[in-house]
């Protein structure tokens, strides 16, 4: 059990990343200073004009970082809005050049959903199928392009970015190497051709949400995240060819610039221990001793695979078999924490009761 006062090792940088302390300091300075009271749209007074100037200065700095014209930058409320605006805006703005777009089945929902919307409105979408390791080959992309395909590419360069990429990739290699001895696992990403620091691991026979719950000292996501709250197998992993069961048994680990090698090694050890404990809870074979009766229900595809072992006391002379008492009850399950809690409560309540009335 981890100390609740100790922050978990954060390995979910693919969804968000900790704020750089230097950035936080500037944000606090702006919010608490004169700029914090100005509305940039209010050009009739000094605070408004100062706020507008600060935003334009930020626009220039971001443009320099990515090699863009400041006039081409639009600040949005977040990634989903930005993706939607980019896809729909470019599609409609360039429709005179053609109504054909190319994307992949593994794109983020913020890209897939507007593409599907365009498809309903008459655009033709070329859907690229990924390889088992999630890659889209250059040959597949080239084959999908047509004369009327809309497209635009941007190359982001910067010394800091390259340094961070090398650091997080080194941590990913350390983490992966530390798990070599763990049996029945599979990696869903290419060893080299992938986003630096991002790993996807499937643990056969272990339900993903249970694994996350068993590691409170690590912050990771199940599947490909984003839709993880829905409880459905990741559409990205399904598009890569994983079975629903294996997709439900998958974790996404993503390292960031503030992670250390010690954290990578520690996280690997915590994962090994958690997998061992959960597999023990779902170990094959009946409990020790004789007289056990076994039943089973569910599957990992349904979110829970449960086997129940029951042993009843010998029937007393003159009484029916239904009057016998439940002497022992054990559950072997690959399931989520909520179902595991229900099984534990059932075990507590049923032992000692008559077979005819276990409730």
Please name which of 180, 185, 339 lies closest in space to residue 249, comparing C-alpha atoms: 185
Compute how many other C-beta atoms are within 10 angstroms of the C-beta atom of residue 260: 13
Task: Count how many residues are written for the chain.
Answer: 359
Q: Which two tokens stand for residue 233?
A: 């197998």
Q: Which two tokens stand for residue 137?
A: 């080959």
- Contact at 8 Å (CB) between 295 and 276? no
**DSSP secondary structure of 176-222:** HHHTTT-SSEEE-S-SSSS-TTEEEEEETTS-HHHHHHT-TTEE-EE
Please name which of 119, 116, 139 lies closest in space to residue 129, comparing C-alpha atoms: 139
DSSP bridge partners of 84: none
Question: Which one of 226, 281, 336, 350 is the catalytic residue?
Answer: 226
| Distance, CA of 185 to CA of 203 (rounded, Å) | 5
226 counts as catalytic: yes
CA angle at residue 18 from 16 to 23, to 5 degrees?
A: 120
| Distance, CA of 167 to CA of 255 (rounded, Å) | 9
Residues near 252 by beta carbon (within 8 Å), at least 6 away in sequence? 12, 14, 198, 199, 200, 220, 221, 222, 223, 224, 225
Give backbone dihedrals phi and psi of 348, rounded to 5 degrees, phi first: -65, -40
- Contact at 8 Å (CB) between 328 and 310? yes
Residues near 37 by beta carbon (within 8 Å), at least 6 away in sequence? 47
Cα distances from 51 to residues 17, 40, 48, 55, 315, in angstroms, run 26, 5, 5, 6, 83
Known catalytic residues are 226
């Amino acid at each position: 059990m981890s100390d609740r006062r100790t922050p978990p090792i954060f390995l979910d940088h693919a969804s968000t990343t900790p704020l750089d302390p230097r950035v936080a300091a500037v944000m606090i300075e702006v919010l608490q200073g004169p700029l914090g009271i100005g509305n940039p749209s209010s050009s009739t007074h000094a605070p408004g004009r100062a706020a507008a100037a600060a935003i334009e200065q930020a626009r220039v700095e971001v443009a320099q970082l990515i090699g863009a014209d400041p006039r081409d930058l639009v600040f949005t409320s977040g990634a989903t809005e930005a993706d939607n605006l980019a896809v729909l805006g470019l599609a409609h703005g360039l429709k005179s050049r053609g109504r054909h777009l190319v994307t992949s089945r593994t794109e983020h929902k913020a890209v897939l959903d507007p593409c599907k919307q365009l498809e309903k409105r008459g655009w033709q979408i070329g859907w690229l199928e990924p390889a088992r390791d999630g890659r889209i080959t250059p040959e597949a992309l080239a084959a999908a392009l047509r004369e009327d395909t809309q497209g635009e590419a941007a190359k982001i360069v910067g010394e800091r970015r390259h340094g961070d990429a090398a650091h997080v990739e080194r941590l990913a290699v350390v983490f992966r190497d530390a798990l070599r001895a763990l049996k029945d696992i599979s990696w869903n990403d290419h060893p080299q051709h992938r986003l630096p620091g991002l790993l996807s691991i499937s643990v056969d026979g272990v339900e993903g949400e249970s694994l996350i719950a068993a590691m409170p000292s690590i912050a990771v996501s199940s599947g490909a995240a984003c839709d993880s709250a829905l409880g459905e197998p990741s559409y990205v992993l399904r598009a890569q060819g994983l079975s629903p069961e294996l997709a439900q048994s998958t974790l996404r680990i993503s390292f960031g610039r503030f992670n250390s090698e010690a954290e990578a090694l520690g996280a690997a050890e915590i994962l090994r221990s958690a997998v061992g404990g959960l597999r023990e809870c779902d170990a094959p074979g009946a409990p020790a001793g004789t007289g056990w009766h076994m039943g089973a229900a569910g599957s990992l595809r349904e979110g829970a695979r449960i086997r129940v072992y029951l042993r009843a006391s010998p029937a007393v002379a003159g009484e029916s078999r239904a009057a016998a008492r439940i002497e022992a009850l054990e559950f072997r399950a690959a399931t989520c924490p909520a179902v595991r809690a229900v099984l534990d409560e059932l075990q507590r309540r049923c032992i000692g009761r008559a077979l005819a009335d276990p409730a």
